[in-house]
Amino acid sequence: MTQRVLTTESGAPVADNQNSATAGVGGPILLQDQHLLEKLARFNRERIPERVVHARGSGAYGYFEVTDDVTAFTRADFLSEVGRRTETFIRFSTVADSLGGADAVRDPRGFALKFYTDEGNYDLVGNNTPVFFIKDPIKFPDFIHSQKRDPFTGRQEPDNVWDFWAHAPEATHQVTWLMGDRGIPASYRHMNGYGSHTYQWTNAAGEAFFVKYHFKTNQGVRSLSAEQAAELVGKDANSHQTDLLQAIERGVHPSWTLYVQIMSAAEAADYRFNPFDLTKVWPHADHPLQRVGRLVLDRNPDNVFAEVEQAAFSPNNFVPGIGPSPDKMLQGRLFAYADAHRYRLGVNHTQLPVNAPRTAVVDNYGRDGLHATRNGSRHDKNYEPNSYAGPSQTDAALSAPLAIHGWTGTHAAPAHTKDDDFFQAGELYRLMSEDEKGRLVANIAGGLSQVTRDDVIEKNLAHFHAADADYGRRVEEAVRALRED
């Protein structure tokens, strides 16, 4: 086999990769040692800014296969035929901790899925819970600051976590999810995924429907207790990454079945609670799950940095037949996610291999910028319209228009007849077995009892009392017992 030659970034052969150039034997290093300076400069720049949220993640490639006909509801091409397969890339993640954080912690999990469709990339950016802590994006930076490391102590502080939740009664539903048995998944393979937001589907006739996505794990839901998680973190802080990597490498391909809930636009206008409120679920009795297809993961990335850290997902990457809803949190993320990637990876991050379309042709007037690889030739114009046969618009909207009315301003969410911050949290509690309730109460009390301010504790207890009388009583008694010890 011919020996490969080590080169510099410019392609020149490297004579010595073991010793720096010096002024004589044992002398000081020379500034002219281009290879040394290039290696050190590149090493200093190997890291890019980590994600503010979802920093710690794992990824895998796979495919999505349509198993059921949904053409009555959407004209999305990749969903147009039973048996059709579309290549995908998924990134799982924790939310609050940094890139060096542990996997087996009590935290929501990101479930971000990229479909490489013939009509462009479609990104579905969700979590492993069907709801979230807040309903308006203006509160997102405040929420994340309360969950992140404190500027003074450098650690997550119960005072900050529970103080924010005390002032956000709508968080009670998600807190009940997080502190319950599914708060620490056993692995990424053993958890469900949800689009969480409400999205719009539009069929070929132009009819609009609102949908929620549910990816049900075919491995079965498995979770860890707080004690099991603490033990696992001590053994392998990268436990979820290890599990996913090894499963796929040995040919065990994890899969999920995709279901959707569908609501007509007419029903959404007069539903008993706001169907676009991210802190609420749609009861399955009203809108049963309808199967769409299956997601299978069958290939690991070759390079975690290039394909997981540089993977960029944005919920504004839609394809014809799929679009946004009036969900305020979704509306905020349509901007925030793409902006985060422009900051971290540059304006041309969509040209990186993991983010570039696989089968769709990119043809637009975007030019220049850092790391641009697609600038066109002397014959290509960078403006539109033009007289040189450049790409032009289709005049075909990707999704149906959303009706709007009223006055501009900073409005509270519209009130529906049954809007309530606590009812669904109580419903979730009442669905739990007695053992599940006991663990939920213990998890909440373990954190809330560490809060130093009595008024913050009382505000949070009021939320659990409002959700369910038994729920509130048991949490209050457990907190009192722990504080008296």
HSE at residue 149, side-chain half, CA atoms within 13 A, is 9
User: CA angle at residue 230 from 130 to 159, to 5 degrees?
Assistant: 65
- Please measure the distance between the N-terminal and C-terminal CA atoms of the chain and give it in whole angstroms: 71
In whole angstroms, give the CA distance from residue 475 to residue 461. Answer: 7
Q: Token match 């839609």: residue?
A: 318
- For residues 256 and 215, the answer to whether their CB atoms sit within 8 Å is yes
In whole angstroms, give the CA distance from residue 262 to residue 444. Answer: 34
Could you write out the DSSP letters of every residue in 374-388? ----TT--SSSS-SS
In whole angstroms, give the CA distance from residue 450 to residue 463. Answer: 18
Helices 469-484 and 423-431 pack at an angle, to 10 degrees, of 80
In whole angstroms, give the CA distance from residue 163 to residue 284. Answer: 33
* Closest among 142, 180, 190 to 164, alpha carbons compared: 142
Burial of 131 (0-12, 13-18, 19+ CB in 10 A): buried
**Three-state DSSP state, 147:** helix
User: Which is the catalytic residue, given 17, 19, 35, 54?
Assistant: 54
Cis peptide before 326 (omega within 30 of 0): no
Task: Report, in angstroms and rounded to the nearest whole number, the Rg of the chain calculated over CA atoms.
Answer: 25
User: Which is the catalytic residue, given 35, 121, 127, 173?
Assistant: 127
Burial of 77 (0-12, 13-18, 19+ CB in 10 A): middle
**Three-state DSSP state, 306:** helix
* Closest among 452, 429, 446 to 172, alpha carbons compared: 429
127 catalytic? Reply is: yes
54 catalytic? Reply is: yes
Residue 143 phi, psi dihedral angles, 5° rounding = -60, -50
In whole angstroms, give the CA distance from residue 76 to residue 66. Answer: 12
> Which helix (H) or strand (E) is 484 found in, with range?
helix 469-484
- Please name the residues in contact with 322: beta carbons below 8 A apart, sequence gap of 6 or more: 74, 76, 122, 199, 200, 201, 202, 398, 399
* Residues tagged active-site: 54, 127
